[in-house]
Chain A
Amino acid sequence: MPDQAQLNLTHLCEASNPAMERTTINNWWTEARQFGIATVQLALLLVVLRQFQIESNAFLRIAVLAFGGFVIHYFLPASLRLPFFSILSLAGIAIVLGGTTAAWLVGIGGLLIGICHLPVRFRTRTLLLIAGRSFLAVLRTDWLAVPWSKVIWPILGSMFMFRLIIYMYDLKHDNAPFSLARTISYFFMLPNVCFPLFPVVDYKTFRRNYYDIDPHKIYQTGIEWMTRGVIHLILYRYVYYYLTLAPAEVTRPREFVQFAITTFLLYLRISGQFHLIVGMLHLFGFRLPETHHRYCFSSSFTDFWRRINIYWKDFMMKIFYYPMYFRLRGRGTTVAILLSTLFVFFVTWLLHSYQWFWLRGSVLLSGPDVAFWTILAILVVINSFYELRYGRERTLTKASFNFAGFAKKAVCTVATFSVICLLWSLWTSETLPEWIALLQSVAHVKLADLGTLSMLVFAAVIVGGVANSVATPSLVKSRTRFSFQRSPLFNLAVLTFLAAVGIQEVYTQLGANAATLINSLRSGRLSRLDVATLEKGYYENLNRVERFNSQLWELYMNRPSNWLDVVGPGLERFTGNFLQKELVSSFVSRTNYGSLRTNRWGMRDKEYEKTRPPNTFRIAMLGASSVMGWGVGDDETFESIVERRLNEEHPESYEHYEILNFAAPGYTALQQVMVLDKALSFHPDVLFYVAAAREPSTSANYLAEVASKGVEIPYDDLKDLLSRAGVPSKPSLPIASRRLFPFRNELVSWSYRTIVGQCREHNILPVLVFLPQVQKGGWQEETPDILRIAKEAGFVVWDLGGVYDSNDVTSIRLAEWDDHPNANGHRLVASRLYSLLTANSQQIFSSKLADKDQ
């Protein structure tokens, strides 16, 4: 219960805090120097943000606005600073979202804020807010049409879903005078528009800590945290690009350890973003606490809960834990703590789903999610009671070194980290069976693995112990030993280093490997795993992206909801056999990219007779989505372009040339064996098998999929391979994937040999055309195997590698979120393919045997 004296004092601090007053002439030089150092650091930070393409272009614009705004803000009188920040925040929203959308966002937000301050009872206001939010929730589900852009939903949700709860709580219990500028600043605070995942800033702290100490210390802390955020984000990229593994790649204990650790370390993105956000707020006087505190070095589960996402923990404590404890304490301390802690974790789980709804528009309910929060809750409860009984180590001063204490702390740190990584791997799994299948990889332990793991654990114990000792030297004094003179210089050095190595002329001097590494860290591209996911092209199966693959999630968020919306029940149908799906016949639709029609045979092509017409050279083309022409019009596919050119230019003496397109989205090498049967019935002279980038892994995944679904497999060789791989009958998908992964090349080899054998039986020349992705990436790892296997199988191999070279990727791909070639890309492929046809005309066109001719 704040008394009036406190309120007056707080108010006074905001309006005329001595720290905010103009300094005397004697202090002028000190202030000028501090301001100069701060602006130099911000300028360097801006260079680093740009060089390393930190987050998005929108964030760079906001950073320019914020850093420029800081300079103006610095010289403003204290009374104008908060209004200035609120205007800057609103301007930031307009810059990123555009004027109209920003107006809707601010208008809706303003209504919600208005309800908070209606001159009616608190309970009535609460009910009105619940009604208002329920109405917005209905709109969020797209049940009703809205006049504003859907872009605002994640941002509106991010600004209001938790802050309204805190704001109302503080309105009830905190009697601080209302300030319109402060309220606007709180809800629409500057960098929020770029970050749908935003720390849950406490309103009271936001108000109370505003310029409560020397402004220069606040600014410097903010700059250091932003620098730390950038470092987190660069480390995140390294983990994301180079260290992450797909579940199917985890077959041994060592890989499981790598999978679990790297999955957890992807959280660096969140901690990096939060440091950037809160650091930026410091530039405007909001001395907010740390959002994360060396969470990798937690020495217990309660310690972990206190260190990771501290704002969330504080939010839970304030709104749920303490009120629940005070309500229950009549039943005894033990019961009250137990129930309150469990309640907090239940609400945490519930509010994560609530957050998911506002950001994604759908409800999150999954086994791993429930299991993760349940297990973590139990661990924290047990840990809490242990601490309640035995206490925990606290110190005001740096503790002297003690080997037993060091060893205990080190072991606890490593054990906590290990369990958290294990839990995180559970949380990231699509299903519980998938996670259990991952765990089974640990069973295949070998002596060499044990040796490696032992060394790893030993090293981790040493590192954990040292890190924990250094990380927590003195809880109190570490906060008071701030040295403005030393810290800015160190930060300056770090920023100068980052800015320098981000310059191409500098990093190219560091040797090829270092240059490649730095170059890769300079951009926010997708990892090889996420690119592979994009190659699937349809996105539907990904429903857990936001927490762990936020870059991919952002692409999805930007993807228009009607993106190639022709794909749906209309274009494909299920076959009920090993092929699983095929294009329906005589389908016609218009997309944003032109017409999409199939002929009566279910080919994305014009009409052909089943019998080859006289004096006609016929090519059958097998492939997947790029060959079918995903995202381009009927006349723009490279298949149709080449066919047109052949008929216009007549490189040989045939009257007609036909290329029959049997491709369908997502077809793998295994399915092509079945498609070939259909193609053979059209009596082609040549077969063009267009190989995609990841033939081996997609084949293994496909066989795993059909095995797990119990689809009848019509090929004895594949049944035999399943048996040799140890895939049980009716396996779970993760188990089947993991066991088949080592057989991926063998699967492709079987497909290729089968296709070549069939072609030879029918006197058809088999040509494998390797079609690369529009941009270089991890898919290239499988290319040498594909080409080698194809040659060994007897294909004539045409490698179109380099077909897109010398073209900017944005000019040849469909969109940022879709790596299929666009019409321009198809033209490039057609040109190369036609050149190869004419250059090899003897081999291709003489393949037509006399006995096949009419």
Chain B
Amino acid sequence: METTSEKMRETLKAFILKEFLPDEKPEELRESTPLITGGILDSLATLKLVAFIEERYKIQLQAHEVDVEYLNTISSIESLVRSKL
């Protein structure tokens, strides 16, 4: 499990690139790229991401946390995960 924020963000970014943006250049996806409001994460993709986060970091997310506020950017996802570790 990653101990630094940077490592965690890299893991999340790698997952998002692999699952949802396989043909995209990695540098195009930034920590502030809006994932939900930008249309990258739809409901199914969001659930995939949630499953990944829960499995990877051994945490439980709540339904109300599947929200723009927590999952819209790699940074906010990292903050959410970190708040639960």
Q: Which residues of A contact B (CB under 8 A)?
A: 1-3, 6, 169, 172-174, 204-205, 208, 289, 302, 306, 317-318, 321-323, 325-326, 333, 337, 384, 387-388, 391-392, 394-397, 475-476, 479
Contacts and interface: CB of A to CB of B under 8 A. Distances in A.
A395 B21 contact: yes
B10 interface: no
A325 B47 contact: yes
A169 B39 contact: no
Contacts of A318: 64, 67
Contacts of B64: 169, 172-174, 318, 322-323
B3 interface: no
A208 B21 CA distance: 28
A385 to B, nearest CB: 9
Most buried by A among B40, B43, B64: B43
A337 B44 contact: yes
A559 B47 CA distance: 48
B69 A2 contact: yes
A289 B37 contact: yes
Contact of B44 (A204, A208, A387, A476): A387
B44 A384 contact: yes
Contact of B24 (A3, A384, A395, A479): A395
A208 B29 CA distance: 24
A653 B46 CA distance: 92
Given A3-B83, A476-B34, A302 B24 contact: no
Contacts of A205: 68
24 contacts: A1-B65, A1-B83, A2-B69, A3-B83, A172-B64, A173-B64, A204-B67, A205-B68, A208-B68, A302-B42, A317-B66, A318-B64, A321-B43, A322-B64, A323-B64, A325-B47, A333-B51, A391-B20, A396-B29, A396-B33, A397-B25, A475-B40, A476-B39, A476-B40
B84 to A, nearest CB: 8
A395 B38 CA distance: 10
Contacts of B4: none
Interface in B6-40: 19-25, 28-29, 33-34, 37-40
A322 B21 CA distance: 23
Contacts of A333: 47, 51
A377 to B, nearest CB: 14
B55 to A, nearest CB: 12
A317 B64 CA distance: 10
A116 B37 CA distance: 30
Interface in B30-85: 33-34, 37-40, 42-44, 47, 51, 62-69, 83-84
Contacts of B43: 317, 321-322
B75 to A, nearest CB: 12
Contacts of B66: 317, 322
A476 B63 contact: no
Contacts of B39: 394, 475-476
A201 to B, nearest CB: 14
A586 B18 CA distance: 84
Contacts of B24: 395-397
A205 B34 CA distance: 15
A476 B33 CA distance: 7
Contacts of A394: 20-21, 39-40
Nearest to B64: A173
B62 A326 contact: yes
Contacts of A2: 69
Contacts of A395: 21, 23-24
Most buried by A among B22, B47, B51: B47
B38 A476 contact: yes
Nearest to B80: A1
A396 B22 CA distance: 11
B21 to A, nearest CB: 6
A6 B79 CA distance: 10
Most buried by B among A6, A204, A322, A323: A322
List the 3 closest A-B pairs by CB distance, nearest first.
Answer: A173-B64, A475-B39, A322-B63
Nearest to B22: A391
A333 B33 CA distance: 27
Contacts of B28: 396-397
A54 to B, nearest CB: 29
B69 A306 contact: no
B25 to A, nearest CB: 8
Contacts of B62: 1, 173, 326
A72 to B, nearest CB: 31
A391 B41 CA distance: 11
A591 to B, nearest CB: 55
A388 B19 CA distance: 11
Contacts of A397: 24-25, 28
Most buried by A among B19, B39, B65: B39
Contact of A396 (B21, B37, B68): B21
Given A289-B37, A394-B20, A388 B83 contact: no
B73 to A, nearest CB: 11
Contacts of B65: 1
A306 B36 CA distance: 12
Most buried by A among B19, B51, B83: B83
A287 to B, nearest CB: 11
Nearest to B39: A475
Contacts of A325: 47, 63
Given A391-B19, A392-B42, A394-B40, 5 more contacts: A173-B62, A204-B69, A322-B63, A394-B39, A475-B38
B42 A306 contact: yes
Contacts of A476: 33-34, 38-40
